[in-house]
Chains A and B, each alone.
Chain A
Amino acid sequence: MKEQKDYLGQFEEIILLAILRLREDAYGVKIRQKVSEATERDVSIGAVYATLDRLERKGYVGSWQGEATPERGGRAKRYFRIEGAGVQALNDTRLVRDRLDADLDLVPAGGAA
């Protein structure tokens, strides 16, 4: 029986890629800023954490508590790292996209140049 693959939603994929890029510095603020920068729109922290929690439940990311700082009102940071299953999910999603994209002649809006 073939293994059931779980494909990522668009925002889930973006969050995982942001965590990969940030490496050890992947916590709420940095992830939100990285995603906002990449998508060129202001993303809410609530949406980021909702997705991170969902990814953690699926086992795609892990988290641990970091140090508290005065800028944060003495509250600790929560760092995230991507797990093996998360990397697998990213690759699976990318593979599907490549299969569908292959040899596709995308015509620009307004007709052929």
Chain B
Amino acid sequence: MTEFLQILIFGLVLGGVYALMASGLTLVFGVMKIINLAHPIFIIAGAYISYWLFKLFGLDPILSLPIGMIGMFCVGVVIYKLVFQREAGNPKFIEMTVLLSFALALSLDGLLGFMFSNTHRITSPSYATEAFIVGDLFVPKGQFYAGIMSILLILALWLFLRYSRIGYAIRATTQNRDAAQLLGVNVTFVSTITFGIGIALAGASGALISFIFSFFPAKHWEWIAILMSLIVLGGMGSLLGAVLGSLLLAVIAAFVGDVFGPTWSTMTFFFSLFVILLIRPQGLFGEKLE
């Protein structure tokens, strides 16, 4: 029983972090129908920012989170304006944006690899290697803090979307872009802001994973497929779906990893992605993907 609980806790905590990673991605898709294959490389960029802030100034990754988020927000806005905005009216929009984000991911991969080389890095604040001992259970402090921060950030995001004016505008654009435009929402502005928020969330989750996983520039390919599987299960565009999908899949992957071995736990994500795309492409809460 203890082992079962142990694995469940691992899965849930990790799922929280994955949920934060996926939330930015699903938000961007919901508002602009952009499948941002470059999202994971922004996560890694955020991780690098935290890593260097920790190494050079001793700033704790969780405390330096706001800095990373603001920086990445600005980066996101600039990238949207430079790269994605011009595709807005294109009939082949989805195909073009996928290819564009793919090219963006390649470029950033090369840039980060060139600037920081491909060595595996990991931030090491003191709590990264400690753990809470609760009875027979062993809860790693680093992952626990990361999970809590992720939940807080997702809650903040949800409150923002629910109660602020821009949040209303974002939700309106997600539901029906044309209708929102007719009602006076400046969809270009909303799109830009949302992309910035999405990348800021990526930066935040990067800061959090910087002390959980060791990262290097090429790791983003692994995460693309994992994140895709999370949001496809939950339904692309749905925040609740992203959270539920992440928790569910992370727990299942943890159990699979325990039974079959660690290499197969990543396989769970890819396999479930494949299966869901064939059986129910819209996932749990999403709209029909066309």
- Asked whether A and B interact, the reply is no
Where the two chains meet, the residues of A that have a C-beta atom closer than 8 Å to any C-beta of B are none
